[in-house]
Amino acid sequence: MPPLTSIYSSAHRGMSIAQSAAALVSRNIANAQTPYYAREILPLSEALGGLAVMAGPPQALRATLLEHALQGATGRTAYFDAQLPHLSLAEAAVNDLDGVGLGKRLDDFRAALAALSANPSGQSERRALIATGEALGAAFASTRRQLDGVAVDIEHDARATAEEINTLTAQIAALDQRIRAARAGDEANTYRSQRAALLGTLAGLTDIDVRLNADGSTTVSTAGGRALVEGGQATRVVVEAMAPPARGIEIAFERPDGARLEAIAGAELGGKLGGLMHAHEHTVVAAVDALDQLAFDFVSTFNATHAGGFTMDGTPAGAFFTAPTAVAGAAAAVALSAGLTADEIGAALDPALAPGDNGNLLRMIEVARDDGAWRSLSREVSQAVAGVEAAGDFERESRTQLENLFASATGVSIDEEMFALTQAQAALEASSRVIGEAQRMTDTVLGLVG
């Protein structure tokens, strides 16, 4: 039989452990809804040949593989979700659903050409063609402005996202330093849970690779291999406009010592930032380029055709639209040729038959009828939106499944915690009874020897 002092010591230790277990239950329940919080347990081992118990520091039930998988799913979901609102605005600029878009203005222009072809000398028809030509130019410019606006919004969003990344990486680096200096147990576990939540948020902004170091700190890198957090220090992410004539945006990295690393294409970063960069380069800027090319080709071809005809008085016609000087910016510059009048429309193909000849109008109708480039542009933007919506839905479902698995592996079950609390209370009562019995034994012994 162990001495009374050992009984007292074991009972007091058991009471302390039961109190710690009850406190840990309260801590778990309080953090049941905290993102990335991992349920903590108190590891127990026997002592004194099974007559006593010992407890180690609280351990968090982290599931590293599931945590990394959830981070990846979060990044993929954010990649598509970030694109959708911007691409929806781009689609609105090119889909003619409001009835006043470029496609509608092209239809009006073709209709005006057809009406004039039926009555080549009609002044009202000639004025209508001038008016629809002006409206067509305005539609080109308006569509270009809308797409430019979407591109600017994406760039602003990307810069704001980069600042979010920088804030998070600075906080993660600070937590790494605290974890390295923290006491084992609940203090270190608290910092690790906070870091896990920050990493989960960061994963939604850019794809990350997280490596746990022996000292408890992390090395966090981008999908492209650029270190974001290393050795308790954070690298800044900077969104920059590409040097002209390029019109894209790229990502640069500034190390803690101020050194600037070579910029990389942003789409490979994944997450929200990668999604924004992809939408900017592959859909919006591509749509602007396609629109400029469409405007340049249309105006150049239509002008050449118009100049091959003759005016009301049989003189050679000039340009119908102002000739573009370059493809870049052509859509914003579409306008009627300065001073063009209704009588100067080159409707006739034979000057001797002017003003009743419609031969050149028939050629201009054929030029204006070719709207395949516009339909292709509109279709590509709409397909991009549909693809982003479908992929986003799929990734959200995958993330939900991983969230459920992660919660099952590491989350807090109120039922389990209440059972653990009951066990702690029973252990506390048992330790109290042992102390009480030991006290009575002590009193009995003292009575016998007294």
Which residue ranges make up each domain of the chain?
4-60+411-449, 62-409
336 CB burial (10 A radius; 0-12, 13-18, 19+): middle
- The H-or-E segment that residue 282 falls in is none
* DSSP three-state, residue 142: helix
Question: What's residue 321's pLDDT?
Answer: 97
Whether a cis peptide bond, with omega within 30° of 0, leads into 355 is: yes
Question: What's residue 50's pLDDT?
Answer: 58
What lies within 8 Å, CB to CB, of 258 at 6+ separation is none
> What band does 262 get if pLDDT is binned at 50, 70 and 90?
confident
CA distance linking residue 447 with residue 450, whole number of Å: 5
The helices-and-strands tally (H runs, E runs) of the chain is 10, 11
* 60 closest CA partner among 32, 45, 41: 41
Question: What's residue 102's pLDDT?
Answer: 93
What mean pLDDT do residues 316-345 have?
94
Is residue 240 a contact partner of residue 44, using CB atoms and an 8 Å limit? no
Check pLDDT > 80 for residue 76.
Answer: yes
**Per-position DSSP letters for 178-223, written without gaps between them:** HHHHSPTTHHHHHHHHHHHHHHHHHHHHS-EEEEE-TTS-EEEEET
* Average pLDDT taken over every residue of the chain: 87
**Per-position DSSP letters for 238-286, written without gaps between them:** EEEEPPTT---EEEEEE-TTSPEEEEEEGGGG-HHHHHHHHIIIIIIHH
Check pLDDT > 70 for residue 3.
Answer: no
Question: What's residue 24's pLDDT?
Answer: 79
Alpha carbon distances (Å) from 201 to 83, 154, 230, 380, 401: 18, 20, 18, 32, 18
Check pLDDT > 60 for residue 1.
Answer: no
pTM for this entry: 0.82
Radius of gyration for the alpha carbons in the chain, expressed in angstroms and rounded: 37
Check pLDDT > 80 for residue 339.
Answer: yes
What lies within 8 Å, CB to CB, of 287 at 6+ separation is 90, 94, 147, 377, 380, 381
- Condensed to tens digits (0 to 9), the pLDDT of residues 375-407 reads 999 999 999 999 999 999 999 999 999 888 888
CA distance linking residue 285 with residue 148, whole number of Å: 8
DSSP-based helix, strand, coil % in the chain, nearest 5: 65, 10, 25
- Condensed to tens digits (0 to 9), the pLDDT of residues 118-127 reads 999 999 999 9
Is residue 7 a contact partner of residue 438, using CB atoms and an 8 Å limit? yes
Check pLDDT > 80 for residue 432.
Answer: no
What mean pLDDT do residues 167-192 have?
88
CA distance linking residue 444 with residue 432, whole number of Å: 18
Maximum mean pLDDT: which of 14-23, 40-49, 78-87: 78-87
CA distance linking residue 330 with residue 297, whole number of Å: 9
Question: What's residue 167's pLDDT?
Answer: 97
- Would you give the distance in Å from CA 353 to the centre of its chain? 63
CA distance linking residue 91 with residue 109, whole number of Å: 22
Mean pLDDT lowest for which of 8-22, 206-220, 288-302? 8-22
* 271 closest CA partner among 82, 78, 81, 86: 78
Question: What's residue 354's pLDDT?
Answer: 86
Is residue 143 a contact partner of residue 102, using CB atoms and an 8 Å limit? yes
Question: What's residue 60's pLDDT?
Answer: 76
Is residue 202 a contact partner of residue 169, using CB atoms and an 8 Å limit? yes
DSSP conformation class of 259: P
- Would you give the distance in Å from CA 51 to the centre of its chain? 58
∠ CA 25-31-37, rounded to 5°: 105
Question: What's residue 23's pLDDT?
Answer: 81
DSSP conformation class of 227: E
CA distance linking residue 247 with residue 252, whole number of Å: 16
**CA count, 13 A, side-chain hemisphere, 163:** 5
CA distance linking residue 221 with residue 228, whole number of Å: 5
